[in-house]
């Protein structure tokens, strides 16, 4: 009750003690403060802002917070004032028991730069606990034969405070026979002993009641009392004696329950009942859980609860030995718990990021974490490691804090995410380890342009294609992700034959499919050179180009075109001359044709489609030469009509035809004599014109025949030689027998002379083609004279003549 009355006065001392608590020092990132226990919640502990070199308002901006491991938070930050304050009731005895110094450690974290500062707060003791005895009444028995000066150890009182506030003295209430003596043990504790001052007389008083007072040194002083009941007995004048004044034993913390760790032994010089000893553990106030069991008869100490070095490094057991009549003695057993490596390291993740851009510089902080091992010594020495193949490393900070940082720039296209395993290993034997997983996503940036699988492309499209037809498809791949990998396609702006390329082809910007915007003509152009651009949707966008060669494939869309014989524009009909003396194989004329297509579509073949005299003429399949198939006979008609077909090799093949009129006669007069056989329309208006035309042709023929006769006389020998050469074929294999004899007399073949007469009954114009050279393979010889223009005889000319 006295202790409770003094307690308010002790609380009044908190304020002065609190004002003296601003003891702080900062060395190597550590701050120390001191605060008394039992102060009110929210009380000032220290000026954190000042000690960190910051303004009070900057604490919130920089994310200052308290970081501690697995315990109730005793302190808090007043961000407005920049101070460290208490977060609740602080009981020194609950936190540190009987330790001389009670230190609470935690860390202060600056979030913006991930800096850690160690904080150490010492909890000072106040006199808030009165001394207490284990029992309210102690019963003693003493023989009446006990001589003065006999000492009886008494139960000690226990004060939870420390220092001056701890137990300081014992006092014994007034009596006639006993006094009190206090002895200090090896551990510094005070043990009261009752000293007999004068002999006892059981007949005068069988029981003595004493009051023992225990006081501490606090201000105000607090005390506790215990009643002592002394029963006077006869004879038993010896107390038990232990074999050792103090027992010490070391036990590993993994020792199994039920193991006997020690046996205490005490002896009594008395005999019989007075020498029967029983062992009892001395109960301490507030001690609820028992780790050991003391066998009362044998003195064996047995483990009844698992030991844990991390909870208690040693245990003190006060043991009493009491004989039959009640005399006792005490001893102390100190059990030292040896640490074994039974705790793996523990991770406390303070801060971590889940995503980082792939262009982050070397040294970017990914995570900040703390590792702790509850073991001690070498068993608590922790090393952290990472797999060697990862582009990360660990940087150690204060108080076993580590930073996980990058060692080089990351590349999302190679590895898009990392599952980082951090391994913490202690130094025990065998060592224990713990793994922590940090999942990191690498955020994409637009650092890769689209790429085509080929350096160039070639595409083919047949001519005469449909407009809008699909031509080709190109695809580019971008190893980036999302918008950075979305590819669009376009064509480079160029011109083809003066027109933009966009008028020829287009490309789907999403799929890369090219479409024809017009029908292509192989004969107009055969290929197009295009550039396709692939661009991504990044910011800024990246692009790449690839060349595309578009080849137009020829189709058989052009029929052969006949160059010779050409059709006169005036509607007249050309006539070829074949002398009756021509031998088989005589070259009458040659059909010359071309095809605007190419390749197989332009390969031409010739055939005789129709003839007025079958079997008389033959046409070269590949050359188009019209030759006599047999010798001409008198019975063969003067006029022979031939229809020659020219066909290409396309699919399907296309063809053209030409009609040839061959006059069978040895000379021009023969032709003129037989002109009447050529059937003309009976038109009375044109009959006069035809008569005049026949007269004109006859006159011209006579003049020309006179010229030929003179020429024959002058060149008879050379003409004869030429005939021999023609018959032998040597040296003239590529020359036909139908060459024209030039005026220069180099090569004159009379029979090779040919002329063409065109007579029309329904036109006012007719023409006469004078002789021209006629080779087997070409229409006009390079050595011939200039081509004579057809002689056009108009109606006016005939009238003049």
What mean pLDDT value characterizes the chain? 79
The pLDDT, as a whole number, for residue 333 is 93
pLDDT range class, residue 289, cuts 50, 70, 90:
low
Assess contact for 652 and 567: CB atoms under 8 A.
Answer: no
The pLDDT, as a whole number, for residue 796 is 37
Three-class SS of 57-83? CHHHHCCEEEECCCCCCCEEEECCCCE
pLDDT range class, residue 274, cuts 50, 70, 90:
confident
Detail the DSSP E strand segments found in 637-680: 639-648, 655-664
Per residue in 514-555, pLDDT (tens digit) is: 998 888 888 787 888 889 999 988 888 989 999 989 898 888
Assess contact for 278 and 296: CB atoms under 8 A.
Answer: yes
**369 burial via Cβ count (<10 Å: 0-12, 13-18, 19+):** buried
Per residue in 10-59, pLDDT (tens digit) is: 333 333 333 333 333 333 467 899 889 888 888 888 988 888 888 888 88
Taking the alpha carbons of 665, 667, 669, 675 in that order, is the dihedral positive or negative?
A: positive
The pLDDT, as a whole number, for residue 688 is 58
Q: What is the mean pLDDT of residues 556-573?
A: 74
Per residue in 299-317, pLDDT (tens digit) is: 999 999 999 888 888 898 9
| Structure letter (DSSP) for residue 451 | B
Per residue in 153-185, pLDDT (tens digit) is: 888 888 777 777 777 788 899 998 999 998 887
pLDDT range class, residue 569, cuts 50, 70, 90:
low
The pLDDT, as a whole number, for residue 672 is 59
Q: Is the pLDDT of residue 578 over 60?
A: yes
The string of DSSP codes covering 303-356 is E-S---TTT-SEEEEEEEEE-TTS-EEEEEEEEEEEP-S----EEEEEEE-SEE
**479 burial via Cβ count (<10 Å: 0-12, 13-18, 19+):** middle
pLDDT range class, residue 780, cuts 50, 70, 90:
very low
End-to-end Cα distance, the chain: 173
- Residue 149 CB neighbours (<10 A): 9
Per this entry, what is the length of the chain? 801
The pLDDT, as a whole number, for residue 764 is 39
Vertex 146: Cα angle to 143 and 152 (nearest 5): 85
Cis (ω within 30 of 0) for the bond into 652? yes
Assess contact for 657 and 609: CB atoms under 8 A.
Answer: yes
Of 623, 692, 609, give the one whose Cα is nearest residue 655: 609
Q: Which two tokens stand for residue 775?
A: 């080779």
Q: Which helix (H) or strand (E) holds 418?
A: strand 417-426
- Residues 493, 625: Cα–Cα separation, whole Å: 52
According to DSSP, the β-strands at 382-385 and 417-426 are antiparallel
The pLDDT, as a whole number, for residue 445 is 87
- Residues 152, 181: Cα–Cα separation, whole Å: 10
Q: What is the mean pLDDT of residues 340-345?
A: 90
Q: Give residue for tokens 């071309």.
A: 594
- Residues 537, 356: Cα–Cα separation, whole Å: 21
The pLDDT, as a whole number, for residue 195 is 92
Per residue in 484-508, pLDDT (tens digit) is: 888 999 988 887 877 888 888 999 9
Q: Is the pLDDT of residue 415 over 80?
A: yes
Query: Which of 636 and 688 is assigned the larger pLDDT?
Result: 636
Q: Which helix (H) or strand (E) holds 709?
A: helix 687-714
Q: Which two tokens stand for residue 450?
A: 């689209």
Per residue in 131-154, pLDDT (tens digit) is: 888 888 889 888 888 889 999 888
Share of the chain above pLDDT 70, in %: 81
Q: Which two tokens stand for residue 106?
A: 């935690």
Query: Which of 676 and 565 is assigned the larger pLDDT?
Result: 565
Residues 6+ apart with CB under 8 A from 650: 555, 556, 597, 600, 601
The pLDDT, as a whole number, for residue 788 is 34
The pLDDT, as a whole number, for residue 675 is 52
Q: In what order do the strands lie in the sheet with 207-216?
A: 137-143, 223-233, 207-216, 167-172
The pLDDT, as a whole number, for residue 39 is 86
The pLDDT, as a whole number, for residue 489 is 92
Q: Is the pLDDT of residue 778 over 50?
A: no
The pLDDT, as a whole number, for residue 29 is 60
Coil/strand/helix, residue 398:
helix
- Residue 693 CB neighbours (<10 A): 22
Assess contact for 426 and 375: CB atoms under 8 A.
Answer: yes
Q: Is the pLDDT of residue 742 over 60?
A: no
Of 739, 709, 713, 744, give the one whose Cα is nearest residue 726: 739
The pLDDT, as a whole number, for residue 798 is 31
Residues 6+ apart with CB under 8 A from 751: 579, 581, 582, 737
Three-class SS of 619-644? ECCCCCEEEECCCCCCCCCCEEEEEE
Q: What is the mean pLDDT of residues 672-700?
A: 60
Q: What are the percentages of helix, strand and coil residues in the chain, rounded to 5? A: 15, 40, 45
Least confident span in 72-76, 520-524, 622-626, 723-727: 723-727
pLDDT range class, residue 404, cuts 50, 70, 90:
very high
Least confident span in 118-127, 283-292, 383-392, 671-680: 671-680
| Structure letter (DSSP) for residue 770 | P
Q: What is the mean pLDDT of residues 368-380?
A: 89
Least confident span in 226-235, 296-305, 726-735: 726-735
**709 burial via Cβ count (<10 Å: 0-12, 13-18, 19+):** exposed
Share of the chain above pLDDT 90, in %: 23
Q: Which of the listed ranges 9-18, 295-304, 724-733 does the model predict with the highest average pLDDT?
A: 295-304
- Residues 222, 744: Cα–Cα separation, whole Å: 162
The domains found in the chain, sorted by start residue, are 30-121 (2.60.40.60), 137-233 (2.60.40.60), 241-338 (2.60.40.60), 346-440 (2.60.40.60), 456-553 (2.60.40.60), 561-672 (2.60.40.60)
Q: Give residue for tokens 């050792």.
A: 244
Of 591, 703, 600, give the one whose Cα is nearest residue 657: 591
Per residue in 452-483, pLDDT (tens digit) is: 999 899 999 888 888 888 889 999 998 888 88
Buried/exposed 20-32: b ≥16 CB within 10 Å, e otherwise: ebeebeeeeeebb
Buried/exposed 323-360: b ≥16 CB within 10 Å, e otherwise: bbbbbbbbbbbebebebbbbbbbbbeebebeeebebeb
């Amino acid at each position: 009750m006295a202790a409770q009355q003094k307690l308010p006065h002790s609380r009044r001392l908190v304020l002065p003690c609190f004002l003296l608590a601003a003891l702080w020092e900062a060395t190597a990132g550590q701050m120390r403060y001191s605060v008394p226990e039992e102060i009110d919640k929210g009380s000032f502990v220290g000026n954190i802002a000042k000690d960190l070199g910051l303004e009070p308002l900057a604490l919130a901006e920089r994310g200052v917070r308290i970081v501690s491991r697995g315990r109730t938070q005793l302190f808090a930050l007043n961000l407005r004032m920049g101070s460290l304050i208490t977060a609740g009731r602080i009981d020194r005895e609950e936190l540190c028991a009987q330790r001389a110094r009670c230190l609470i450690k935690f860390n202060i974290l600056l979030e913006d730069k991930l800096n850690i500062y160690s904080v150490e707060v010492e909890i000072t003791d106040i006199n808030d606990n009165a001394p207490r005895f284990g029992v309210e009444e102690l019963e003693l028995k003493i023989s009446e034969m006990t001589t003065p000066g006999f000492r009886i150890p008494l139960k000690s009182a226990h004060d939870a405070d420390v220092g001056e506030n701890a137990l300081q003295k014992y006092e014994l209430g007034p009596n006639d026979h006993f006094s009190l003596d206090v002895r200090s043990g090896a551990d510094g504790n005070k043990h009261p002993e009752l000293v007999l001052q004068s002999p006892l007389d059981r007949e005068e008083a069988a029981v003595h009641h004493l009051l023992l007072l225990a006081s501490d040194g606090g201000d105000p002083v607090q005390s506790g009392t215990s009643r002592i009941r002394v029963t006077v007995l006869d004879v038993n004048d010896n107390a038990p004696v232990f074999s050792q004044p103090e027992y010490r034993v070391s036990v590993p913390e993994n020792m199994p329950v039920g193991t006997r760790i020690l046996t205490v032994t005490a002896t009594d010089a008395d005999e019989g009942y007075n020498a029967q000893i029983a062992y009892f553990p001395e109960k301490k106030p507030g001690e609820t859980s028992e780790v050991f069991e003391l066998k009362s008869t044998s003195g064996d100490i047995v483990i009844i609860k698992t030991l844990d070095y991390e909870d208690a490094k040693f245990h003190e057991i006060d043991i009493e030995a009491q004989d039959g009549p009640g005399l006792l003695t005490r001893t102390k057993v100190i059990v030292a718990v040896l640490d074994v490596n039974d705790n793996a390291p523990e991770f406390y993740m303070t801060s971590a990021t889940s995503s980082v851009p792939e262009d982050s510089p070397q040294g970017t902080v990914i995570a900040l974490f703390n590792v702790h091992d509850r073991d001690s010594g070498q068993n608590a020495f922790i090393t952290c490691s990472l797999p060697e193949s990862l582009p990360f490393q660990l940087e150690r900070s204060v108080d076993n804090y580590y930073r996980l940082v990058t060692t080089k720039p990351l590349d999302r296209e190679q590895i898009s995410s990392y599952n980082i395993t951090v391994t913490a290993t202690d130094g025990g034997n065998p060592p224990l380890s713990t793994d922590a997983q940090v999942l990191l996503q690498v955020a994409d940036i637009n650092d890769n342009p689209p790429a085509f699988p080929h350096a160039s492309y070639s595409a083919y499209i047949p001519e005469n294609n449909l407009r809008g037809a699909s031509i080709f498809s190109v695809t580019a791949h971008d190893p980036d992700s999302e918008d950075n990998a979305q590819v669009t396609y376009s064509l480079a702006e160029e011109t083809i034959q003066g027109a933009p390329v966009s008028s020829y082809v287009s490309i789907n910007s999403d799929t890369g499919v090219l479409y024809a915007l017009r029908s292509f003509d192989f004969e107009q152009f055969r290929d197009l050179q295009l550039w396709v651009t692939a661009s991504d949707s990044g910011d800024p966008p990246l692009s790449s180009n690839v060349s595309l060669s578009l080849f137009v494939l020829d189709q058989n869309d052009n029929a052969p075109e006949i160059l010779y014989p050409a059709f006169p524009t005036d509607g007249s009909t050309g006539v070829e001359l074949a002398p009756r003396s021509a031998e088989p194989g005589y070259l009458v004329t040659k059909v010359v044709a071309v095809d605007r297509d190419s390749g197989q579509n332009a390969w031409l073949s010739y055939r005789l489609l129709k003839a007025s005299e079958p079997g008389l003429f033959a046409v070269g399949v590949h050359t188009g030469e019209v030759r006599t198939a047999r010798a001409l006979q008198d019975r063969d008609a003067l006029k022979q009509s031939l229809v020659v077909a020219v066909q290409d090799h396309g699919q399907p093949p296309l063809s053209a035809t030409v009609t040839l009129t061959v006059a069978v006669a040895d000379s021009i007069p023969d032709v003129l004599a037989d002109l009447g056989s050529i059937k003309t329309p009976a038109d009375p208006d044109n009959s006069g014109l035809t008569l005049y035309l026949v007269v004109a042709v006859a006159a011209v023929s006579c003049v020309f025949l006179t010229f030929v006769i003179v020429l024959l006389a002058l060149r008879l020998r050379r003409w004869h030689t030429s005939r021999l050469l023609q018959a032998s074929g040597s040296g003239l294999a590529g020359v036909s027998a139908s060459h024209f004899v030039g005026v220069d007399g180099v090569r004159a073949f009379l029979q090779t002379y040919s002329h063409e007469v065109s007579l029309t009954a329904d036109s006012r114009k007719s023409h006469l083609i004078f002789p021209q050279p006629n080779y087997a393979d070409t229409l006009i010889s390079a050595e011939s004279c200039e081509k004579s223009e057809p002689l056009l005889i108009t109606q006016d000319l005939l009238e003049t003549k």
